[in-house]
Amino acid sequence: MKKMPIVETHSHGDYDTTGDSLLGDHHENHETGGLDAIAALAGEVITSGTVDGDRLPAISTTKKGAVPAVTPATPSEFLRDTGDFEHIVQADCGGLETTATPEFSGLGINVPGAENSAELAEGATIGDATGPRIKYNKAAALIEVLDADLNVGNTPTIPGTGGTWSTSYDSAGTKIHCVAEFEGKLYAGSEEGIIYVYDGSSWTPAFDATPASKITALCVFGSKLYACGWQSSGGTITTVYSTADGVNWPTVWSNNWGYIVEGIQSMAVHDNKLYVGLTQSGVYYSSDGAAFSSSSFAAGYGAAGLCVFNGSLYAVANNMASGATKIYKLVSGSWSAVYTDAAGIDLNCIYTWNGKLYVGATAGKIYASADGATWGEVEDLGSMGVLCLREYAGLLLAGCNNGTVYQSADGLAWASFYASGEAAVYGILEYGGSLYAATGSAGKVNVYTDNTYVPAPNETVYGHLTVHGQFRPGDAPGVEGDILLSGGAAHATWLARGATGQYVGGVTGGKPILKVIPASDVTVGPTSTLEATDVQAAIEELEDEKLSTSSLTAIAVPFAPSSAIDASNVQDAIEEVEAEKAAAPIIKLDTGDPVSGEEGQLCVNTYNNNVKIYADGSWRSLATW
């Protein structure tokens, strides 16, 4: 209770009918004085009730001390601190409610509290009785987290929900058409024919392609970066430049198309060739990056986008005259149409993601195919055109000609990722851990820094850590019993106890990289049995070896082996043949995999052009050609 100040001799203004004070004049300290002082203190602070030993009954919350009575009324059930307490002393207090943070030298809940500690009774809980809470289990030496997940550090969130966008570079031009990474640097091609380079700290002009009025595509081929430019003054001229050092940009191919609308829209690398997509004249390609040859579609079609999918090159093509569109596939050097649409919806870009091929079009259309042959519309974003598609942080992003970038986690449901405020987003690329967007009409490269994920602090566990459910140091969910080591739908790695043993897994949903099988499940040796001819051949081979080794003694001894073949010799021969049979590679000249194989056995299929290994009960591809 707050100390009362020592006061001078005075009277309390309670008088009898004669005008004399009922308590009389006094000067005792109101805290430690005698009976008169206690009575005076009671008259000062007590509003109801009577003095009960060393306790005071419930009092008004406007007074500077509030200690509950022995049988408190409902409003007095809790000790209520209004900010004027120096000490709280009450053993029978049912709880504490405070408007400010209290300070204690020690706290005990149903047990005495030691200094600088919070002592909990057995079974004590912290939290909602029906919701997330921590339980103190002293008998089992456990701290239990009940009805809740336990996050150590900050909780990660979905990319795009908390990051920030800013301008990385303002070219003072009108459009940045394309971006590409080369030799650890970021390059950007502009409407004005200038290529800019970013080294991670600053932007500088790398090449001025004037008189080329546009740099519309960038692509790495071999050890060089290639750039496509075109102009329409004095006839349409398309030009391809290359650089090995980012400083020198010689012209490697140029063509004057006369007074027709022509330009370079896309580039891609396939089968050790560089392909260049034009506006109306199909595709040109080069094996050396210098000499280019035509590989055309139907007349009047150009390639707005090029992409490799399942080992084949695909192109989205538009006919400027008729408005018809096609999707082409390159088969044995010739283009074959796998999709045709005469509805006048231009196809702008093509991209492979999560095992499917996606196409972005005008009118906000996004199409997808799992095999490159059967196509379906998966999204309609509205009136804007989809100009580019790109993966970022496990998401598929779509840049549009209204300046918005949309995101999807499954290719089906789409939501806004970024409203740039620019007229269009022409290109998207991740570089140095951040996402860059090539925009127009202000000629800016904008950068997105994802600050939604803050790594948790390192944690060291001494003793045992038992998890019933999932233990997830990464940022993606596992399954019951998993220990997820890293997150991301395409990069998950985990330890798990499966039905047939423990394993280290790779990509989510993939096959184990390393698997430990219980001894009870292991069969020693090849599963196939040896035939009689195998054993006979092994015995004959041993006979020959024994005869050859006894030739020196045969001069003095009549023809006879030095010793008979015993059971151990035969067993050795059998094991040797077993090992040879298991290790022998399979050469196939027809299609398909062998019906079965031995663990670690190789299959070379010259018909399907692939090399496979038999691992974990299935044939798994190692290489193709």
Q: Measure the CA–CA gap between 196 and 289, rounded to whole angstroms.
A: 22
Do 514 and 594 reside in the same domain of the chain?
Answer: no
Mind listing the pLDDT tens digit for each residue in 294-318?
A: 998 888 999 999 999 999 999 999 9
Q: Is the Cβ–Cβ distance between 45 and 52 less than 8 Å?
A: no
502 pLDDT above the threshold of 60? no
Residue 319 tokens read as 């006919």
Instruction: With respect to residue 235, please indicate whether it lies within any of the assigned structural domains.
Output: yes
- Encoded amino acid at 330, one letter: L
Confidence of residue 231 (pLDDT cuts 50, 70, 90): confident
Instruction: Let me know whether 149 and 185 are in one domain.
Output: no
User: Do 130 and 187 belong together in one domain?
Assistant: no
pLDDT, residue 563, reads 47
Domain for residue 603, yes or no?
yes
**pLDDT recorded at residue 121:** 87
Asked whether 317 and 359 are in contact (CB, 8 A), the reply is: no
> Between 530 and 180, where is the model more confident?
180
Assess whether pLDDT exceeds 80 at residue 136. Answer: yes
Q: Which two tokens stand for residue 311?
A: 């080992």
In this predicted structure, what is the pLDDT of residue 621?
86
Q: What is the pLDDT of residue 212?
A: 67
Does residue 53 have a pLDDT over 70? no
Same domain? 494 vs 572:
no
Mind giving me the DSSP string for 344-393?
A: ---EEEEEEETTEEEEEEGGGEEEEESSSSS-EEEEE--SS-EEEEEEET
Confidence bin at 54 (pLDDT 50/70/90): very low
Residue 336 pLDDT > 90, yes or no? yes
Tell the burial category of 585 from Cβ atoms under 10 Å away from its Cβ (0-12, 13-18, 19+).
exposed
For residue 567, name the pLDDT band (cuts at 50, 70, 90): low
Rg of the chain taking only CA atoms, in angstroms: 41
Angle at which helices 567-583 and 532-549 cross, to 10°: 120
The pLDDT of residue 571:
67
d(CA 496, CA 481): 6
CA distance 55 to 79: 13
- Alpha carbon distance 295, 310 (integer Å): 20
Mean pLDDT of 378-384: 90
Strand residue runs (E) in 409-511: 415-419, 424-431, 434-440, 444-449, 483-486, 493-498, 501-505
Classify residue 16: in a domain, yes or no: no
Per-residue pLDDT, 213: 73
Which secondary structure element, helix H or strand E, spans residue 313, and what is its range? strand 312-319
Strands 512-516 and 404-408: unpaired
**pLDDT level of residue 480 (50, 70, 90 thresholds):** very low
- pLDDT > 50? residue 400: yes
Instruction: Using DSSP bridges, classify how beta strands 334-341 and 501-505 pair: parallel, antiparallel or unpaired.
Output: unpaired
* pLDDT for residue 622 is more than 90: no
In angstroms, rounded to a whole number, what is the distance separating the alpha carbons of residues 50 and 42? 9
> Do 187 and 256 belong to one domain?
yes
* Mean of pLDDT values over 406-414: 93
Shared-domain flag, residues 149 and 197 = no
pLDDT at 526 over 50: no
Q: Is residue 59 part of a domain?
A: no
Long-range Cβ contacts of 528-535 (<8 Å, 24+ apart):
528/581, 528/598, 530/574, 530/577, 530/578, 530/581, 534/574, 534/577, 534/581, 535/570, 535/573, 535/574, 535/577
| Distance from C-alpha of 285 to C-alpha of 305, rounded to nearest angstrom | 14
Asked which of 262, 289, 317 is the last residue of a domain, the reply is 262
Q: Is the pLDDT of residue 191 over 90?
A: yes
253, 191: one domain: yes
- The Cα-based distances of 265 to 219, 396, 567 in angstroms read 12, 22, 76
**Domain termination residue (choose one: 262, 292, 309):** 262
Return the higher-pLDDT residue of 106 and 352. 352
Please determine, for residue 530, whether its predicted confidence score (pLDDT) is greater than 80: no
Range 28-37 average pLDDT: 47
Residue 428 clears pLDDT 80, i.e. is over it:
yes
Res 164: pLDDT: 84
Distance, in Å, from the CA atom of 168 to the CA atom of 204, rounded to the nearest integer, reads 12
Q: Are residues 179 and 256 in the same domain?
A: yes
Residue 135 located in a structural domain: yes
Report yes or no on 307 lying in a domain. Answer: no
The helix (H) or strand (E) run that includes residue 470 is none
- Judgement on whether residues 180 and 142 belong to the same structural domain of the protein: no
Query: Which residue did the predictor score with more confidence, 623 or 224?
Result: 224
Does residue 609 share a domain with residue 576? yes
Count: domains in the chain: 4
pLDDT for the residue 86? 45
What's the CA gap between 515 and 512, in Å, rounded?
Answer: 6
Residue ending a domain, among 494, 521, 548, is 521
**pLDDT attached to residue 452:** 59
Which of 186, 195, 187, 192 shows the shortest CA–CA distance to 212? 192
pTM of the model: 0.54
> What does the pLDDT read at residue 539?
66
User: Of 77-81, 120-124, 403-407, where does the model show the most confidence?
Assistant: 403-407
Measure the CA–CA gap between 219 and 205, rounded to whole angstroms.
Answer: 18
With 80 as the cut, is the pLDDT of residue 42 above it? Answer: no
Helix (H) or strand (E) holding 260: none
User: At CA 98, angle to CA 97 and CA 100, rounded to 5?
Assistant: 160
My answer on whether omega of the bond before 441 falls inside 30° of 0, hence cis, is yes
Q: What is the pLDDT of residue 562?
A: 44
112 DSSP assignment: P
Percent pLDDT > 70 in the chain is 60
Question: Per the domain annotation, does 206 fall within a domain?
Answer: yes
Q: What integer pLDDT is reported at residue 51 of this predicted model?
A: 39
Q: Is the pLDDT at 218 greater than 80, yes or no?
A: yes
Would you state the pLDDT for residue 244? Answer: 96
Q: Is residue 502 part of a domain?
A: yes
Least confident of 34-48, 162-176, 564-578, 591-605: 34-48
Q: What is the mean pLDDT of the chain?
A: 74
Q: Is the separation of the CB atoms in 309 and 389 below 8 Å?
A: no
Q: Is the pLDDT of residue 337 over 80?
A: yes
- Domain residues for 500? 483-521
Is pLDDT above 60 for 13? no
Rounded CA gap, 512 and 475, in Å?
A: 20
Q: Average of pLDDT values for 130-158? A: 77
Residues 180 and 258 grouped into a single domain:
yes
Residue 123 has pLDDT above 70, yes or no: yes
Share of the chain above pLDDT 90, in %: 35
Q: Cα–Cα distance between 612 and 602 in angstroms, integer?
A: 6
Same domain membership, residue 188 and residue 246: yes
Tell whether the model's pLDDT for residue 351 goes beyond 70: yes
